[in-house]
Amino acid sequence: MTQHSSQARTALVVVAHHRADSLTAHTARRSADRLEAAGYRVDLLDLHAEGFDPRMNAADQPDWGDREKAYSDEAHAHMRRVLDADVVVAVFPVYWQSVPAILKGWIDRVWNYGFAYGRSKPRLAGKRMLWLGLAGATADDPITEGMRSHLEAGLNEGIAYYCGFAHSAVGLLTDAEERPQRVDAAGNLLVGEAVTGAEREAQYADFDRRAREFVEKFLAAEGVSA
């Protein structure tokens, strides 16, 4: 693991959305700004913009008999970016109570055997992880509690803890859609009226505030002022 001085801490901010004008990309940029204000050098990794291929291939398939396997050049380049980071922040839309395929594929190919796990002393030990998931569900939708629990179990316990991270937190950002939506007991999708004008601006401002609070709480847990 690369050691950094307090003046040279690095945050790897990973964006998993196909549109640069999405609320996800906006939230990633705002989060990067907060991290820079807290003294981090930010490495912004836009998986779609950089053309990352999430599909597993023979070069990056784990070899359980060889934890020193040399993976593809692309995977090794991303591994270096993870190694160089003190904190990793992933920003993504929540799909089916999980991460999008491109983010899952990035983890599959890059957080690989012999690198992120499979060693008595994890190479990622001591790093910290924040997962910011944007959900179309409204804050008062009963589904959100189960969504939060599912994400925390899969991301904090199933991935970050397994890879030796010192701390991992999930921030679930609800109300990400212009039109409120929920599924009723019969499975019908109920979509409300679009929020526009001043009300929409207020919704955006509240969304930004909640995202900022997740980042600041994450930094505060490390004793870093944002």
Q: What is the mean pLDDT of residues 150-163?
A: 96
Strands 128-134 and 87-93: parallel
CB 216 within 8 A of CB 226: yes
Residue 79 and residue 70: Cα distance in Å, rounded?
12
Strand partners, 168: 129
> Among all chains, which residue has been given the structure tokens 């690369």?
2
pLDDT recorded at residue 7 = 61
pLDDT (tens digit per residue) in 189-225: 777 777 778 877 888 899 999 999 999 999 998 765 4
Query: Over pLDDT 70: what percentage of the chain?
Result: 95
Query: The tokens of 138 are what?
Result: 């409204």
Q: 9-24 pLDDT, tens per residue?
A: 999 999 999 999 999 9
* 29 — pLDDT class (breaks 50, 70, 90): very high
pLDDT digits (tens, 9 = 90+) for 187-199: 777 777 777 788 7
CA-CA distance, 125 to 161, in Å (whole number)?
A: 9
